[in-house]
Amino acid sequence: MEAREEDQSAKMDPPCSPSGCNPPEPPLSKNARKKLLKQQRYEAKKAEKKAQEKEQKKKDIERKRKEWEETLASVTEEERAKLIESRKSLRKERMGKRSEEKEKKIERLNRAKDCGQKIVIDLEFSDLMTPSEIHSLVQQIMYCYAVNGRCPSPGHLWLTGCNGEMETQLQRLPGFDKWIIEKEHRSYIDALQDHKENLVYLTADSETVLDDLDLKKIYIIGGLVDRNRWKGITMNKAQEQGIQTAKLPIGSYLKMSSSQVLTVNQVLEILLRYIETRDWKASFFQVVPQRKRCEAECNSDHAVDGKENGDRDDEQETKKTKCDEVSSSNHTTL
C-alpha cells in the first residue's frame, strides 16, 4: 500500500526539467567564504558607525537649537526681530538655489533622452541573488541615478528586466516613481530589439577593448551582486543572444590590488566621466578607490566592467599602496 502511494506521488510530482529550474548555486570556495565573512564584519561596523553618526547629528541639531534660543534671549526685541528676519531670508535663498538646481537637473536629464549616451543596467539576475545582495544592488542603482543627475552631460539610463523582489525594493526608494529614467519590465533584448546591432554588453571576459564610446551604441552593465559566484555569466548571456561585447581599458592605466570587479555605480561613473573628459586615465583614477589599486603598469591584461558586480567598493580595507600613473598612449583599438 505504501509503495503504491509513493509511486503515485512520484507520478504527480515529476522531476523539474533543466529548462524550468534555476541552475543550482555553485558552492562558495574557502576564499570566497572568507571574503564573505569579512564583508559581513565590515557591514556590521558600517551599520554601527552610521548609527553613531545619526546620534551625533541629533546632538548637533539640539546644540544649535539651544545656542539659537540663548542668542535670541540675550538681545533686545528689535535685534531679535532682525536676527529672525535674517535667518528667514537665508533659508529662502537656499531654497531658491535648490529649486533652481533641481530645474536644471530635470532639464539635463530630459535632454539626455534625446541626445545622451544610452546606458542599460540589466536587472535580470535577481533570482540568483539573496535579499541582502538585491538590497545592495538597489543602493548602487540609487547612487547611479544621483551621480547621473549631477553630471553636466548625463546619460540616458535604462533599467531593464525590473521585476519581482528587485522591483519591490526599487519602489520603496523615496521618489522612485518620479525618476527620469526608463523602467522596463522586459529584457533589454526585447525592449530594444530594433537596436540589437548596437547593443554592447560590458564584460571583462570580452576580447574587445572599449577604446571609445559611440553615441549610436547602447552599453549594458550587468546588475549582479554575487560575491563572484557566477563567473562568466554575462559573457555567456551576450554570446547566446548574439550581441557585441567589450571590456573597459582599465588595464592600460592601472592594476587592481585585489578584485578586478567594480560596483555598478562605479562602472557607470567611469562611463560618465569619460563622456565628460574623453580621458580614460582620468576617469579611472577619479572613480576607482585607491584601496583597489596598486602599482600601475602598461599593457596589462587586467580589466573591469559591469559583470558580476559585487559590493566590492566597501569590501577591502584601506590599503596604503602607491599608484603611479602611466601614459595614456597604449589603447587597444576596437
The verdict on residue 6 lying in a domain is: no
The verdict on residue 208 lying in a domain is: yes
The verdict on residue 233 lying in a domain is: yes
The verdict on residue 25 lying in a domain is: no
The verdict on residue 70 lying in a domain is: no
Q: Are 188 and 118 in contact (CB under 8 A)?
A: no
Q: In angstroms, rounded to a whole number, what is the distance separating the alpha carbons of residues 44 and 102?
A: 35
Q: In angstroms, rounded to a whole number, what is the distance separating the alpha carbons of residues 39 and 36?
A: 5
Q: Which residues are identified as catalytic?
A: 226
Give the mean model confidence (pLDDT) for residues 151-166.
95
Q: CB neighbours of 241 closer than 8 A, spacing ≥ 6?
A: 189
Look at the pTM and tell me if it is higher than 0.75.
no
pLDDT tens, 62-110?
A: 999 998 888 888 888 888 888 888 988 888 888 988 888 889 999 999 9
pLDDT tens, 216-258?
A: 999 999 999 876 678 889 999 999 999 999 999 988 888 766 5
The verdict on residue 229 lying in a domain is: yes
What's the CATH number where 127 sits?
A: 3.40.1280.30
Show the cell assigned to 302.
587586467
How many structural domains comprise the chain? 1
The verdict on residue 236 lying in a domain is: yes
Q: In angstroms, rounded to a whole number, what is the distance separating the alpha carbons of residues 217 and 119?
A: 9
The verdict on residue 154 lying in a domain is: yes
Show the cell assigned to 141.
542603482
Q: Name residue, grid cell 577619479.
A: 286
What range defines the domain where residue 201 resides? 116-292
